[in-house]
Amino acid sequence: PSPLDLVVIPGDGIGPELVDSALQVLARVAALDGFEYRLTTVDAGATAYRRTGRALPDGALERLRAADGVLKGPVGLPDVRHPDGTEAGLLGGLLRTGLDTFANVRPMRLLPGVTGATRHGPGEIDYVVVRENTEGLYLSRGAGAATPHAASDQLMVTRVGTERVVRYAFELARGRMGAAADGARRVTCVDKSNVLRSYALFRRVFDEVARDYPDIGTEHLYADAAAHELVARPQTFDVLVMENFLGDILSDLGAATVGGLGMCGSLNAGTDAAYAEPVHGSAPDIAGRGLANPVSQILSLALLLDHAGRTSAGDRVRGAVESALSRGDFELGERGQPVRGTQSVTAAVCENLRPG
Ligand code: NAD
Ligand code: IPM
Ligand code: MN
C-alpha cells in the first residue's frame, strides 16, 4: 500500500508543542503497526495571518482535501483581530465549510488515573458529542449586521444539514457497544425547541431520522437541562447530537468532567475530507513553556488513524494513553495539567506503545 498522506497544521500558541508530541506518538505507532506515512506541513492560523495577511494559504484547501487526513493543532490568538472585533486567525469556518466536514465528533471519556477534577469513577463517563459543524449560529460568521450600536447574527438550521448530522450520530451509536452505564444505545437530541423555530426544525428532523433506527433509543433534552445532566449524571449518555453553537459550549463543559480540556480530542468529518484537532484552543496563557497536556492532540491523532482505516493503530494509541495514566507513568494536576510537563506525557505514552 502507498504511504499514508497526512497534512499537519502546527497552529498557534501551544499548537506546535502538542503537534510535535503527537508526531512522536505517530512515529512509534507506525513502526509498531507496520505502515508508512508522508507528512506535509501547512502554515496556517493567526501567526500565518499576521505574517501574510491570510489565515490559510492559497491552494491549501485542495491539498487538504487530497490528503488521507489532516492533523491540526489549535489556532487563534486573541490579539489578532478584524476591525469588527472578531478574530482573524481562526480556521474553523474556512476548514469546516471549505472541506464540508459536517460532523464534529467529540468523545468524552473519563480515563482511569484521572482523579483531580471529577467526582466520577473511571469508565463511568463515556459518550460522544456530535456537533453540527457547518450551519446553526455559525452560518452567520462574517455575515450578520453590525453598527456601533447594535449587532445581530442569525441561527440557520436546514433540513439537509440536520438530516446528515443526525444520521451520522445514529450510525455512530449503532457502531458503539452501548457505552452508557445501563448498556443502552441511545441518541440524545439537544436543542431549545421550546423557544426557537430553528431548533424546532432540528428536533422534527431528528424524530424523522430516528424512525430509520428502531434499534437505537432516543431522548430529547432542552439544552439548559442537558448542561445540568452532563454534570449531574454524565454516566447516562451515549451519543448526543446538537446544533453548532450548543455543541461548542457543551463539549467544553463535558471536558471539565473528564479531566479538563487537555483530555479531549475531536474529528471534523465529512464525506470527502477529515481533520482532527483538540477541542480546546491555543492556550496563550501557557504557550511555549512545555506545560500543556498533549493527550488532546494524541487522542485526536487516534481518531484520525481510525478515520484513515488504521483502527488498530488508533486503538493502540488510546490503549497506550490509558495504560500510561493508570500505571501512573504520568500524572495530572487539579486542572488536568501534566505535573511534569508536556514531554513527560509524550514519553510515557510512547513507552506504553509496545508490540503485541
Ligand atoms: P483555550 O481552550 O485555549 O484555553 C482555556 C483554558 O484551558 C486556558 O486556561 C488554557 O491554559 C487551558 N488549556 C487548554 N488546553 C490545554 C491543554 N492541552 N493543557 C492544559 N491546559 C489547557 O481557550 P481560550 O483561551 O478561550 O482561547 C485561546 C485561543 O484559542 C483564542 O484565540 C480562541 O479563539 C482559540 N480557539 C481555537 C480553537 C481551535 O483551533 N479549534 C478552539 C478554541 C479556541
Ligand atoms: C472550537 C472553537 C471554534 C468554534 C472557534 C475557535 C472558531 O471554539 O473548535 O470549539 O467556536 O467552533
Ligand atoms: Mn470551542
| DSSP H or E run through 249 | helix 244-257
87 lines ligand 1 (CB under 6 A): yes
How many Å apart are CA 210 and CA 311, to the nearest integer? Answer: 28
CATH (domain of 192)? 3.40.50.2300
Does residue 12 share a domain with residue 58? yes
**For 75-89, what is each residue's pLDDT tens digit?**
999 999 998 889 999
pLDDT score of 29 more than 60: yes
**Could you say which of 257, 284, 300 is where a domain stops?**
257
Let me know if residue 133 belongs to a domain.
yes
Does residue 339 share a domain with residue 294? yes
What pLDDT is recorded for position 140? Answer: 82
Query: Average pLDDT of 53-65?
Result: 97
What pLDDT is recorded for position 177? Answer: 67
Question: What is the 282 CA–ligand 1 centroid distance (Å)?
Answer: 4
**Alpha helical stretches, state H, 34-107:** 46-52, 60-66, 92-98
Which position among 138, 199, 213, 275 bears the catalytic label? Answer: 138
Count the domains in the chain: 2
Does residue 269 share a domain with residue 170? no
Let me know if residue 90 belongs to a domain.
yes
What pLDDT is recorded for position 113? Answer: 87
Going by CA atoms, what residue is nearest to atom 5 of ligand 1? 283
Does residue 96 share a domain with residue 6? yes
Does residue 3 share a domain with residue 99? yes
Does residue 130 share a domain with residue 208? yes
Question: What is the 125 CA–ligand 3 centroid distance (Å)?
Answer: 20
Query: Is 306 among the catalytic positions?
Result: no
Question: What is the 78 CA–ligand 2 centroid distance (Å)?
Answer: 13
**For 217-265, what is each residue's pLDDT tens digit?**
999 999 999 999 999 999 999 999 999 999 999 999 999 999 999 999 9
What pLDDT is recorded for position 108? Answer: 97
Does residue 193 share a domain with residue 271? no
What pLDDT is recorded for position 235? Answer: 93
pLDDT score of 336 more than 90: no
What pLDDT is recorded for position 84? Answer: 87
Let me know if residue 35 belongs to a domain.
yes
**For 278-323, what is each residue's pLDDT tens digit?**
999 999 999 999 999 999 999 999 999 999 999 999 999 999 999 9
Does residue 167 share a domain with residue 249? yes
pLDDT score of 74 more than 80: yes
Does residue 275 share a domain with residue 253? no
Burial of 229 (0-12, 13-18, 19+ CB in 10 A): middle
76 lines ligand 2 (CB under 6 A): yes
Cell numbers for 35: 505502515
Does residue 10 share a domain with residue 79? yes
Query: Is 224 among the catalytic positions?
Result: yes
Question: Residue 242 in 3-state DSSP?
Answer: strand
| Best residue among 77, 82, 90 to mutate for probing ligand 2, ranked by most atoms within 8 Å of CB | 90
pLDDT score of 182 more than 70: no
252 lines ligand 1 (CB under 6 A): no
- Given the DSSP bridges, would you call strands 265-269 and 274-278 parallel, antiparallel or unpaired? antiparallel
243 lines ligand 2 (CB under 6 A): no
248 lines ligand 2 (CB under 6 A): yes
What pLDDT is recorded for position 122? Answer: 82
Let me know if residue 146 belongs to a domain.
no
Which position among 126, 168, 192, 199 bears the catalytic label? Answer: 192
Does residue 269 share a domain with residue 226? no
Does residue 273 share a domain with residue 241? no
- Nearest ligand by distance to the CA of 88: 1
**Could you say which of 222, 257, 292 is where a domain stops?**
257
Range of the domain at 349: 1-107+262-356
pLDDT band at 146 (very low <50, low <70, confident <90, very high): confident
pLDDT band at 268 (very low <50, low <70, confident <90, very high): very high
pLDDT band at 117 (very low <50, low <70, confident <90, very high): low
pLDDT score of 141 more than 70: yes
90 lines ligand 2 (CB under 6 A): yes
Q: Quick one: which of 279, 267, 283 has its CA closest to 70?
A: 267
Question: What is the 270 CA–ligand 2 centroid distance (Å)?
Answer: 17
**Could you say which of 238, 257, 276 is where a domain stops?**
257
CATH (domain of 56)? 3.40.718.10
